[in-house]
A and B are shown apart, each in its own frame.
Chain A
Amino acid sequence: MTGMNKCIGCFTCMFVCAGVNRHNHSLSKSAIRVRTSGGLQGKFVSIVCLACKDERACAEACPSGALEKRPGGGVIFKFEKCIGCRKCEAACIVGAVHFDEDENKPIICKHCGVCARFCPHDCLEMEERPDDL
């Protein structure tokens, strides 16, 4: 999220995230969210997993072990272990764990970088991080 001032609010990042990761056309399936406060001067903000290192609040909150530490930051989602309790959603302090009401499962960012690759104005950037595990 290097330059959200450059964001034009096209939502391409959300469409490609939902498309590539969930094979879905709906913006609601995206792991990244772009929001505006509305009106002519409201700024855009992007809400996406920050890839927490060392301690991951979402994984700590998960009672069924469905979120495993991902090398470098963030978590890996184990679909079959998830019971849909939404504790991870509540635990994420930046609000980056979204919830899929149709599947009854959280939407967890895979850090695949497709959002950054399709950002037409370089607002989003993908960063390499060393393994923290």
Chain B
Amino acid sequence: MIYEKYIRVLYIDLTTRKIRVEHREDLYSYLGGVGVASKLLEENIKPGLDVLDPEQPIIFAIGAASTIFPVITKTVAMFWSPLTGELGESYAGGRMAMTLFLAGYDAVVITGKSDKPIYIAISRNNVEFKDARALWGMDSDEVGRVIREREPGGGKRSIIRIGPAGENLVKYASVCVDTYRHFGRLGLGAVMGSKKLKAISIVGDRNVPIKNFKEYFKVYQEIYKRVTDTEIMSKYHDAGTPINIEPLNAAGALPTKNLRQNVFEHGDKISGEAFARQNLVRKMACTGCPVGCIHIGQFRREFDKGHEYEAVSVSYDYELLFALGSFIGVKSSDEVLELIEIVEHMGLDAMSTGVVLGWATEALAKNLITQEQTIVPLAFGNTKAYIEAIKHIAMKTNDFYAILAEGADKASDVYGGKDFAMTFAKNEMAGYHTGYGQVVGQTVGARHSHLCNGGYSIDQSMKEFDKEKLVNALFNEEKERCMLNSLIICLFARKVYDRKTILAVLNSIGYDITDEELTALGERIYRTKLRIKQMMGFDPKSVKLPKRLFETPSMSGKLDEQVTYELIDMYYKKVEELMAKAD
């Protein structure tokens, strides 16, 4: 809790509909965010029970400096991932961090299961359990609209919710946060669905006097100036993250058609420029971020004969254009937006959905599965078929789609095609075929996300390939991001928030902390995550990578399978050393 030496945790039990609040002084040194959430997950996880057992927890946490400094906007969710069977960790922007901060909770722990669909309404002086029976089955857009009309606090409110995919326990179901942002990856939506929890509404309007205004505002202004007056952040606002499509495609790093190719011949039609020219209608920001990287694109759809049109708006980003564009051969910006729309409504993770569809498309072409199973003729570029397939996944229409709803790894266990099921330890790949950094990074990352250690970025900045240097860079970045995510700084602003700036931020709001302590904190958080992974039964030696990674050349040339596993071994030696250290 800001200006207090404890972390204020709200515990919600959905089975008994009871709540309690604890002031945890023992968690204070973890700052907040992923530090606090990891500890709470470690305490509350039930290793002996099923991943989706009602007793399993969902943890949300905001950071030590959430909302009150520019671009410190994220909330972390931690849980047991039904997709990978191990560490679930996901970040979302929007208004959620601001509302939790101003409702007066640093973290929320949700356990148990409601007997009927419900949503929770959280405010600074109340937590209510509300009937959501009529909302069950609604898409995530519609449920947002209904709750917006029912709950007070517009402008100071955040609404997070699941769609049909979460209700039906699709293992990569997402959670939509305030229409534009998501806890996308690793299946938090299914965990909420398993608890019959359709949505959470949070209102934040607490009185929080600033302790040391002079010092605080001095630091605030310096950061604000760097964020808005320098070039560091401008690309995120300008054309946004999709600007990366073009350079990555030119470099041969854009995974295309289930990574049968590293270049998309229609890349120019789904580039950031193309979207900006044809579809971009507005930009938006998470609360407290003067950058505004959220890009809203619009397309027109004829829904009936006689010139009956509707205009549809959806938010788009690089990873979505990769997963629902190049990866499944979709070659127009309008069609990509149409796919994003259906993924949003169903409440799925866009990245996993695209990569799963890539596998299914190739599996059908190779006759591992039949069109009787797929119902629609899946083929690269066939948007109409993909739209139907996405609905089938969310609804688990038949046995085949029920398996597809478990992810590409599971599907290839059942139907074959393991060599081209593009996953890393069961998490579908991100949109980078840049080299060893990405492949090794996503494999060894604590949650098998490209954002654990930014391997794709190391590939692009490293001048000469050096095994030792690469492994060290991944390892150090993983630890550093554990620390950054305890504040929780949006990773887009990681160049603004250097160590000096972070110390200034923390000192200005009363934290007495040194540079060395920040380093030690990163290590401590990483060790906590590694312990949780052990509890969940993760065996690094069991990870087998799909052969396709080594067949299709990356931006850095063809990757060698032996070298890759050697790098992974080198990395885990460092992990063992870290685990041997005392907390």
Contacts and interface: CB of A to CB of B under 8 A. Distances in A.
B291 to A, nearest CB: 8
B315 A24 contact: no
Interface in B189-228: 204-210, 213, 216-217, 220, 224, 228
Interface string A1-33: 000000011111001100110011111110001
B70 interface: yes
Interface string A92-129: 00000000001000000000000000101100000000
Interface stretch (A38-46, A59-67, A72-80, A81-89): A38-46
Contact of B288 (A10, A34, A35): A10
A39 B179 CA distance: 6
Contact of B213 (A8, A19, A118): A19
Contacts of A120: 228, 290-292
Nearest to B210: A23
B296 A10 contact: no
Given A12-B288, A118-B224, A41 B313 contact: yes
Contact of B217 (A10, A19, A26, A102): A19
Contacts of B102: 25-28
Nearest to B99: A27
B6 interface: no
B285 A40 contact: no
A69 B284 CA distance: 37
B155 A23 contact: no
Contacts of A9: 284-285, 287, 292
B2 to A, nearest CB: 7
Interface string B308-335: 0000011100000000000000000000
Interface size class of A (residues with CB under 8 A): 20 to 34
B315 A29 contact: no
Contacts of B314: 40
Nearest to B281: A41
A35 B148 CA distance: 13
Contact of A24 (B208, B286, B290): B208
Contact of A33 (B148, B155, B205, B228): B155
B289 interface: yes
Contacts of A20: 217
Nearest to B157: A38
A27 B180 CA distance: 21
B145 A39 contact: yes
Contacts of B98: 11, 27
B48 interface: no
B506 interface: no
Contacts of A38: 144-145, 148, 154, 179
A25 B313 contact: no
A27 B290 contact: no
B220 A11 contact: no
Nearest to A36: B155
Given A40-B179, A121-B292, A8 B284 contact: yes
B283 interface: yes
Nearest to B2: A25
Interface of B: 2, 67-68, 70, 98, 101-102, 141, 144-145, 148, 154-156, 179-180, 204-210, 213, 216-217, 220, 224, 228, 283-292, 294, 296, 313-315
Q: Which 3 A-B pairs have the closest CB atoms?
A: A8-B292, A120-B290, A10-B285
Given A8-B284, A12-B290, 9 more contacts: A15-B288, A16-B220, A24-B208, A24-B210, A25-B209, A27-B155, A34-B155, A39-B144, A120-B290
